[in-house]
Every structure is written in structure tokens, then in C-alpha cells.
Amino acid sequence: MSENCVNIVADIGGTNLRIGIANQDGSTKSLTVYQCADYAGLAEVVSDFIEKEQLTNKTISACFAIACPVENDLVVMTNLPWQFSKTELKKVLGLEKFLLINDFTAIAHAIPMLGNEQKVQIGSGDPVDGKPISVCGPGTGLGVANLVNHNGRWVSLSGEGGHVDFAPVDEQEIAIFKHLLGKYSHVSYEQLLSGLGIEQIYQALAELHDVSKNVLSAKDITSRALAKECDVCEKTLTQFCRVLGSFAGNLALTLGSFGGVYIAGGIVPRFIEYFKESDFRTRFEEKGRLSGFNQNIPTYVITESQPGILGATAYLLQHNKEAL
């Protein structure tokens, strides 16, 4: 790669945009965080970065991870009043190459690059090189992606797995399901495995145990549970970990994820030690006659603070290599 060529990568969320220069070894430099609300659109942010980093006369290849659908040329952000044409944006910014990927596609591509200091294993099992990998991320919603190796090339299989039907497995979960069915015509796993999901589990359990329902945020529920200040909050966090274990186990069964199942998102890393001792791994393995299948599959929590940037870098470097 000549000195006149440069790779830039970005992770675009509803609140913050992180952008930096990707090095050939997979690291990044000049990582800058922008507040999206301060700018009229994506072009203004990237133009500012290019100018400040004195990249105007460089040949630029770019890969951006973004939290919205990316299939069409017109991209409309879900949680931000930005929209843009991919074709027009490439032209306006003067990019040689422009790749736009979903944020969970980026997170999936980050996984093969993670070192031991960027993840925490939950339970037993050893990953098998080159075998499929699954990732799910409880946060604002429930993101899901899978990664498969095809002739030495990692390919992300994205979708809307967080919206599959919630399947209760015991009496308490049936009660939670009935509570949610009173609010929604369709109860998906995202209705339990998200920030809103924690709040909804709490409301359902407060109703089930006939105690007054305080208006608590997911953060408040979690902190009270960890401090053992509220019995219903403790039951809520316990239930959240159990449901996440069942859901992650379903992903493992569906894809045969012997490369590992990874938990991303902003929720679980806040209580790693609690999560290790929870019923997550037990429920991950409890699959009836197929329990032995999942027992051999490792599970991890991603602790890397910038998986979107790491994944966008991996995706761009792989694409550049294939183009040679």
C-alpha cells in the first residue's frame, strides 16, 4: 500500500460517531469521537475528519459500520434524523472505495481479531478454528449476526434474529410471556433481551409477586439487583441471564457455532462477575437430547470497547486483500 493511500473506518451510532485511520496490522490511529447531534449529516462529519487529518489529497478507502439497514442506496438512520445516498456520499467525499456495513456485521467481523484481553469466557468449551461463530448483543435492541468461513474468507450472515418468537421454558417465563402478550401482538426475544426488556421483566415479575411496581430504568434495576437492595430486581436480573442463555443456546444449535457464541452490546459487560455465576451457561446447555451438542461450544462476553471500529477495519482489510 503506497504512502498516498489511506484507509478510514467509522462506527456510526445514534448518539456518537467514532472514526479513525486503519493501519495494515488491524490497529487504528487518530480515533476521534463526534457527537452526531452537532452535525447536519454524515458528509459533514467525515469531511471534518478528512480535513483535520490532512487527507484531502490522499486516495481514500473507507468502511463505515452503521446502526440501520444498508441494503438500499438511500440510507435512512433509525435513531438519528440523517439520510444519505451511498453513491452520492462516495462522490462528495472523493472516496476511491466506500463500503457501508451494518453495525452487527462489523461486530461479527471483529471476533476473529479479539485477543484474550478483549473477551471473557463464560463456562467451558474450546473454539474450533474456522467453524461458524454467532454473536448476539442485548442493548437498545437485540442484534444478531453469524460468521462463517468460506475458503479462508470470513462472511457475515446478518438478519433480524432478535425478533424471533420468544419461547418460555418454565412457569415463570410463561407468566412473563402472558404479561407481554397483553401489550404486544407478537412477543419476540428482544422484548426481554434489551434495556426495555429488563424493565418489562421487572414489571411482569412485580405483577406476578403482587408487589408495587416502581418506575425503574434498566440501569436502576440492574444496580439494585447487584447491591441486593430489591428482591424483584434480583429476580429480574436472574431471569434476564436465563433467557439470554436459552437464546444464545438456540443460536448455537441453529448454526452449529463451534467457533463460539459471543455476547456483545452494552448491558452484560456491566456485570461480568455476576454473569459468570448466573444460570446463563446452564440454560445455554439445557437443550434436552441435544444438551451434549452445546456443552462443547464455548461462550464469551466481548469486553473490547470499540468492536465496531475493529470489525470495520477487519472487513475493509479483507476486502482490499481480495481486490489485489
**Residues within the annotated binding site?**
10-15
Residue 3 and residue 58: Cα distance in Å, rounded?
9
- In this structure, what DSSP letter does residue 23 have? P
Calculate the CA dihedral of residues 199, 200, 205, 207 and round it to 10 degrees.
Answer: 110
For residue 119, what is the enclosing H or E element? strand 119-122
- The DSSP secondary structure of 66-87, one letter per residue, reads ESS--SSSEEE-SSSS-EEEHH
| Closest among 292, 68, 32 to 158, alpha carbons compared | 68
Annotated binding site for ATP: 10-15
From the CA atom positions of the chain, what is the Rg in Å? Answer: 21
| 300 close to 121: Cβ distance less than 8 angstroms | yes
- In this structure, what DSSP letter does residue 163 have? G
Measure CA 13 to chain center.
Answer: 12
For residue 18, what is the enclosing H or E element? strand 16-22
| 33 close to 23: Cβ distance less than 8 angstroms | no
Three-state DSSP at 31 gives strand
* Sign of the CA dihedral running 271, 276, 277, 280: positive
| The three cell numbers locating residue 271 | 456485570
